[in-house]
Amino acid sequence: MKKSAFTLTLFLALIWNACSQNLSELSTVDAVTGKTMTLGSMTSGKGFVLIFHSLNCPFAKLYESRIKEIKTTFQNQGIGFALINPEVGNSEAEQSPLRSYIDQSGLNMSYLIDAGQAWTKVFGITKIPEVIVLTPGANGLKIAYRGAIDNNPQSESAVSERHLERALNQILRGESTTPAQVRAVGCNVRSY
């Protein structure tokens, strides 16, 4: 069992390393501005947090205030943020609720549309919310952390492990993130 887990981990690490150069070329539409954005153009500074999100997931709503707090804490330290929705398309009817959500929630960040779930597949996302933290490296963008925001989606007051915050603080100190991955809990991503 341990040998197969090690082999799988090594295989995934090799794939991610091979794909790191291509990550900056990923593009999608920002529902807030209507502009096409590339991951490389959004990732300037010390890191970038992609939060896979859906308006239909109650877990995403539970995390809203925590996402705002984390963004407020880290955005002025060189960390960028964007929500990305794998469950909508590019039509105006599907983009309009995303723009309204950003306006009403006060999150003030891009809300990207993952039409066709290309980004979801590239990053292997299975839950909402699930985060990917990208950092610039010598060979392009690399995934520094992936997974859960913290260890208690239902009750903010009962959180004892702030996984995303710990990873961002480690990145700002120039350290490797430990752990680099924590299993996310939330709504299953609906595949199309």
For the whole model, what pTM was predicted? 0.86
Return d(Cα 4, Cα 156) in angstroms, integer. 36
* Residue 9 belongs to domain spanning: 2-188
SS3 132: strand
- Predicted confidence (pLDDT) per residue in 133-143, tens digit: 999 988 889 99
Strands in the chain per DSSP E: 27-30, 36-38, 47-52, 79-85, 110-113, 127-128, 130-137, 140-147, 181-182, 187-188
Q: Is the pLDDT higher at 51 or at 93?
A: 51
At 112, the amino acid letter reads L
Read off the pLDDT of residues 119-172 as tens digits, 9 standing for 90 and up.
999 999 999 999 999 999 888 899 999 999 999 999 999 999 999 999 999 999
CATH number of residue 148's parent domain: 3.40.30.10
Higher pLDDT residue, 19 or 103? 103
Query: Which SS3 state, helix, strand or coil, does residue 189 take?
Result: coil
pLDDT at 4: 55
Report the run of H or E that residue 118 belongs to, with start and end. Answer: helix 118-123
Cα 52 from Cα 60, distance rounded (Å): 9
